[in-house]
Amino acid sequence: MLEGMDAQNLIIFSEEVHKARKKKRPIVALESTIITHGMPYPDNYSLAIEAEMLARKHGCTPATIAIIDGKIRVGLTDEEKLSLSKAKNVSKLTTNNLSLNIVQKQTGSTTVAATLLIANMAKLQVFATGGIGGAHRQSELSFDISADIQQLSRSNLIVVCAGPKAILDIPKTVEMLESRGVPLITYKSKNVPAFWSRDSGIKSPMVVNSISDIVKNQKFRAATGQVGCQLICNPVPEKNEISRKYIEPIIEKAITKAISQKIFGKALTPFLLTEVLAMTKGVSLKTNKALLLNNVKLASKIAFMIK
């Protein structure tokens, strides 16, 4: 069935993305796990729509990526996004289960890792997400380190995020990225941001103050045959920030609960995000939305300039 097909032919592009590719207009890739496992309905749906509108407002074409009935989809209709938003038991796809999910004609949402793999196949250049996965706290015991890290070292996009998710061990995540040769670069900030908070207290390995430095660096990396993404960490806007002091005990409580309920593996990140949402009475959700939109805005400006 798949013989003779190259990577590009295995992808179904939406009409909007197809046109943008033909006319070489800037495209911003978006993931779908944030829709299915990152937040509840209907917030997930309204955010998915709002993120796409914002990319268009900045002159870019949004490309939300998912697997639907075993088809690799780059760009989804609003109906498809709605159905993913409401769906229960959709698989959370990363790099180890993406392929079998396709072969077995299933539907699944793509994490940062799986989205990066597909976006690279589609030759997209810029991707906006909320927070990346990384080394979990106590990963020295559990070995739970997101495949996002490995895929960031294999695809070649510019990834805009609000830092590693605050539920993680941020120093370990920063070290893992360095070991894999992934440049963690903060945008207009001396320290690494921590998703809901602007400052993790960890000094950033690299800082840029302009979009043109990001674009020039991408071109230099490509010209010199370097593999791997540039990870641009963009702190959440001040007005939407949750302070570290407030959120840290809440994260600790959520982790303690996860341990006592033996929640681990793929279920851990969604569990922790849901617990934090409940304990902050929805404030974390509001911040999560704001940081994603802030990242879409920066990603769109980068995509526009790189063209």
Residues catalogued as catalytic:
31, 165
* Pairing label, strands 158-161, 126-128: parallel
> Out of Mn ion, ligand PSU, none, which partner does residue 31 contact, by CB within 5 to 8 A per kind?
ligand PSU
Positions touching ligand PSU (CB under 6 A) are: 31, 33-34, 37-38, 111-113, 130-131, 133, 146-148, 165, 266, 269, 273, 288
Lookup: tokens for 27: 């495209």
> Out of ligand PSU, Mn ion, none, which partner does residue 80 contact, by CB within 5 to 8 A per kind?
none
> Out of Mn ion, ligand PSU, none, which partner does residue 112 contact, by CB within 5 to 8 A per kind?
ligand PSU
Q: Nearest distance from residue 172's CB to Mn ion, in Å?
A: 13
Contact call for residues 28 and 126 (beta carbons, < 8 A)? yes
CB-wise, 43 or 275, nearer to Mn ion? 275
Q: Nearest distance from residue 64's CB to ligand PSU, in Å?
A: 12
CB-wise, 25 or 286, nearer to ligand PSU? 286
> Out of Mn ion, ligand PSU, none, which partner does residue 288 contact, by CB within 5 to 8 A per kind?
ligand PSU
Backbone torsions φ then ψ of 157, nearest 5 degrees? -95, 170
Q: Nearest distance from residue 220's CB to ligand PSU, in Å?
A: 27
> Out of Mn ion, ligand PSU, none, which partner does residue 38 contact, by CB within 5 to 8 A per kind?
ligand PSU
DSSP codes, 6-66: -GGGGEEEPHHHHHHHHTT--EEEE-SHIIIIIS-TTHHHHHHHHHHHHHHHTT-EEEEEE
Cα(33)–Cα(273) distance, rounded to whole angstroms?
12
CB-wise, 21 or 165, nearer to ligand PSU? 165
CB-wise, 4 or 265, nearer to Mn ion? 265
Alpha carbon 3 to its chain centroid, in Å, reads 31
Burial (Cβ within 10 Å: 0-12, 13-18, ≥19) of residue 201: exposed
Q: Nearest distance from residue 3's CB to ligand PSU, in Å?
A: 32
Q: Nearest distance from residue 272's CB to Mn ion, in Å?
A: 11
> Count of CB atoms within 10 A of residue 258's CB?
19
Task: Please list, in sequence order, all residues whose beta carbon lies within 8 angstroms of the beta carbon of residue 8, skipping any fewer than 6 positions away.
Answer: 121, 122, 123
Q: Nearest distance from residue 267's CB to Mn ion, in Å?
A: 9
DSSP codes, 218-255: HHHHHHTT--S-EEEE-PPPGGG---HHHHHHHHHHHH
Give the residue at shortest CB distance from Mn ion. Answer: 144
CB-wise, 55 or 276, nearer to ligand PSU? 276
Q: Tokens 């796809």 — which residue? A: 93
CB-wise, 133 or 163, nearer to Mn ion? 133
Cα(76)–Cα(65) distance, rounded to whole angstroms?
7
> Out of Mn ion, ligand PSU, none, which partner does residue 167 contact, by CB within 5 to 8 A per kind?
none
> What is the Cβ-side half-sphere exposure of residue 277, based on CA atoms within 13 angstroms?
15
Contact call for residues 151 and 93 (beta carbons, < 8 A)? no
Positions touching Mn ion (CB under 5 A) are: 144
